[in-house]
Amino acid sequence: MSGRRVEAAAPEAPTEGDGGPLEQLAHWAAGLELSDVPQRVIDLAATHVLSQLAAIRTGLQQPDGHRLVRALGTPFQADTAQSARVLGGVGAWLNLDDTAYAGHLGPSTVGVPLAYAHALGLSGAELLRAVILADECAARITSAATLGPFRGQTALHTHVVGAVAGRLACERAPAGRWLDALALALSAPPWTLLRGFIAGDARLLHVPVAVRMGLDACDAAAGGLHGAADIVEHPDGFLARFATVPLPDALTLGLGRRWHTETLSFKLHPGGPGIDAAVDCAVDLHTDLGTWAVEDVREVIVECSVYTLFAARKARPYLDGPRTPIGALVLDTPYPVATALLTGQLVIEDFAAPRVDTPERWRLAAKVRLVHDPAMTRELLAGDAPFGEALRQAGDAGRAWLAEFGGAELLDLAPASRAPAGDFTAAEKPTPARVRVELHDGRVLVREYRIPRGGLGPELRSRHRELIAAKFHAAGGPAAVTRQWPGLARTDPARLRALLERAVGR
């Protein structure tokens, strides 16, 4: 969303001598040790790495991944920076990268540490420290601009910051270099054009370009170049351009207590924002339906929140049946739901020939209709991710943004104002959907998910290792890797290097 800028309440001034928010974040990052991080957060970070490795493996197996490797080279090549760009790129464009409050973090926050941990001979503990720091820094700066024109995969400043933090954590850089590199990198972050992101192959380069900017900033800072320490909050700075409602205090709010790594949701099948729950419903209904044909179906109704409808509106101008570019097809709901109803799954091969050319999928997709459910939008807005927590931080300015985002009627669905969360131990990302299949013989079958499988909530916190091990195996990952994964934090450098090479499949 673009448009007029709505002023949020000014954040509390930092304590005298502590510097501005970016400087405080840099000092915290430079001094963090893995022993400072709760074990539950470390465990989630290990799962995050394995999940992103599954996305990387999947990307490397696709024809577009082969082309990207021809263009940029293979993972774990001699040029570490290029390796980081490749790992970031192949793990990004298929919509299998995980989300957090806020941002699609993994392509940079995992991809860059993987490259540098492999090249520098780091241990598993050092890799986990780097991933957590990259997640925390990238998510905090992304959350500061969440109420703005870019979210999700279009927010490439996420990967500019993820690249800086992931590399500098691996290099154990001092706080001054962290500050300069972050400030330099945020001085000219990429501005995504939706046309390029959805049509053509540019989406394969978006993350590598952002990663390059972050890594170049690290080199520049090491060489003695300095950035503007107030680049985030200055009237001529980052948030002035990238946020409609700027939240500069998000950079430092609850450092060491509010772990953004704890807000991760894991992608178990490809698809854009808001369609996961609908696809899960369709997977279940495939079994419930038994033997059937497309001609037996009168209508498929998907009741959903405004979040799902927003993604569908973005995709609509690009829809062209089996000729629809993948960037639009993963945002739309009818084709993924129809595919899951027919096959009982949704995998990346479903978005390419020959599967995408299957006529019965498109005949069924034509019977899928989206309907807004106000109660589901109310649940969405009451959650922590994708932007509920940002709305709480923004206060009245957040309500003005919400009206501009989805219309004044959303104000009646927004929850009452309350203080930002003290921590994220009970955070949730409800993106609900209800799928109703009506058959000509009068039967009606219904499934509903409040939080999709892999979505942030109580079930994920108890099952993330199991769910992501299955995702990794589905991508062809060897069981020997998942057997060793629980001991990642105790893995020495030589064993880590071999483990990563086996995990990537190279």
d(CA 88, CA 51): 13
pLDDT at 1 over 80: no
pLDDT at 321 over 90: yes
pLDDT at 6 over 90: no
Do residues 459 and 20 touch, judged by C-beta distance below 8 A?
no
pLDDT at 198 over 90: no
Strands 297-304 and 368-372 come out as parallel
395-415 pLDDT tens trace: 888 888 888 877 788 888 888
d(CA 122, CA 114): 10
Please tell me whether residue 27 adopts helix, strand or coil conformation: helix
Angle in degrees, CA 196, 402, 454, rounded to 5: 65
The pLDDT value given to residue 13: 35
Q: Is 44 left (phi over 0), alpha (psi -120 to 50) or beta?
A: alpha
Phi and psi at residue 462, in whole multiples of 5°?
Answer: -90, -15
In terms of pLDDT, which residue wins out, 5 or 393?
393
Neighbours of 372 (CB within 10 A): 13
426-460 pLDDT tens trace: 999 999 999 999 999 999 999 999 999 999 999 99
87-141 pLDDT tens trace: 999 999 888 999 999 999 999 999 999 999 999 999 999 999 999 999 999 999 9
d(CA 151, CA 146): 6
pLDDT band at 200 (very low <50, low <70, confident <90, very high): confident
pLDDT at 14 over 60: no
Largest Cα–Cα distance of the chain, in whole Å? 74
38-49 pLDDT tens trace: 999 999 999 999
Q: Which residues contact 442 (CB under 8 A, 6 or more apart)?
A: none
For residues 26-46, give the mean pLDDT: 97
Please tell me whether residue 327 adopts helix, strand or coil conformation: helix
For residues 474-487, give the mean pLDDT: 96
The pLDDT value given to residue 197: 86
* Ranges 17-31, 151-165, 398-412: which has the least confidence: 398-412
DSSP assignment of 387-423 equals THHHHHHHTHHHHHHHHHHH-THHHHHSPPP-PPPS-
Q: Which residues contact 187 (CB under 8 A, 6 or more apart)?
A: 227, 228, 231, 238
d(CA 241, CA 208): 22
Tokens of 500: 């990563």
* Omega of the bond leading into 354 within 30 degrees of 0 (cis): yes
d(CA 194, CA 210): 16
Distance of CA 237 to the CA centre of its chain: 24
pLDDT at 17 over 70: no
Q: Which residues contact 15 (CB under 8 A, 6 or more apart)?
A: none
For residues 281-291, give the mean pLDDT: 96
Amino acid at 213: M
Place of tokens 């509106």: 313
The pLDDT value given to residue 418: 82
d(CA 55, CA 351): 15
Please tell me whether residue 353 adopts helix, strand or coil conformation: coil
Tokens of 273: 């924002």
Burial class of 422 by CB neighbour count within 10 A (0 to 12, 13 to 18, 19+): exposed
pLDDT at 474 over 60: yes
326-369 pLDDT tens trace: 888 988 999 999 999 999 999 999 999 999 999 999 999 999 99
DSSP assignment of 205-264 equals HHHHHHHHHHHHHHHHHHTT----TTTTTSTTSHHHHH-SS--GGGGTTTTTTS-GGGG-
pLDDT over 70 percentage in the chain: 96
* Ranges 47-56, 305-314, 370-379: which has the least confidence: 305-314
Do residues 505 and 57 touch, judged by C-beta distance below 8 A?
yes
Neighbours of 316 (CB within 10 A): 11
Place of tokens 């599967």: 355
Q: Which residues contact 466 (CB under 8 A, 6 or more apart)?
A: none
Mean pLDDT of the chain: 92
Angle in degrees, CA 371, 375, 378, rounded to 5: 115
pLDDT at 9 over 50: no
Q: Facing residues of 435 across strands? A: 302, 447
